[in-house]
Amino acid sequence: MINEQLIHDWMVVYLKEKLSRSYDKVLINLADKKENEFNGIYPDLILSNHGLVMSIIQVETDQGITEANSETWKGLAGKGAKLILMVPKKHKARTIDLLWHSGLADKASIGSYELNVTMP
């Protein structure tokens, strides 16, 4: 579980740095620090341009791809900004399936990530 939180928080910080070039303001909420609110929720990233929230991003790890979390995604998708889910590459198909079953297939976009370690 500690490794899951470490990967989650690292991914949130990485995305903040990467997306700061494209958005005026990128606010984050780490697993243990909920400081930036959007319409009563605390998504992992809030992306804004010119004072308007364009998208919210939720980062999921291996253990986060569940039916219970699809209910959380449903709440995030109904807040008036585009929802982007960042999931491990190996769980992308399962996430798509969960989105279809929960009626969110047209309300969320999916990005994926993969951590690779190459040893000599």
pLDDT in tens, 42-60: 999 999 999 999 999 999 9
Q: Does the residue 45 lie in any domain?
A: yes
Q: Does the residue 74 lie in any domain?
A: yes
Q: Does the residue 26 lie in any domain?
A: yes
Interstrand relation of 108-113 and 82-88 (parallel, antiparallel or unpaired): parallel
Considering only residues 13 and 33, tell me which one the structure prediction assigns the higher pLDDT: 13
Number of domains the chain is built from: 1
Say how many Å lie between the first and final Cα of the chain, rounded: 29
Q: Does the residue 120 lie in any domain?
A: no
Q: Please state, as a whole number, how many other Cβ atoms lie within 10 Å of the Cβ of residue 48.
A: 16
Mean pLDDT of 91-98: 95
Q: Does the residue 69 lie in any domain?
A: yes
Q: Does the residue 119 lie in any domain?
A: no
pLDDT, the chain, mean: 93
Tell me which residue range forms the domain holding 15: 2-113
Is the model's pTM score more than 0.75? yes
Q: Does the residue 84 lie in any domain?
A: yes
Is residue 26's pLDDT more than 90? yes
Q: Does the residue 38 lie in any domain?
A: yes
- 82-101 burial by CB neighbour count: b if 16+ within 10 A, else e? ebbbbbbeebbeebeebbee
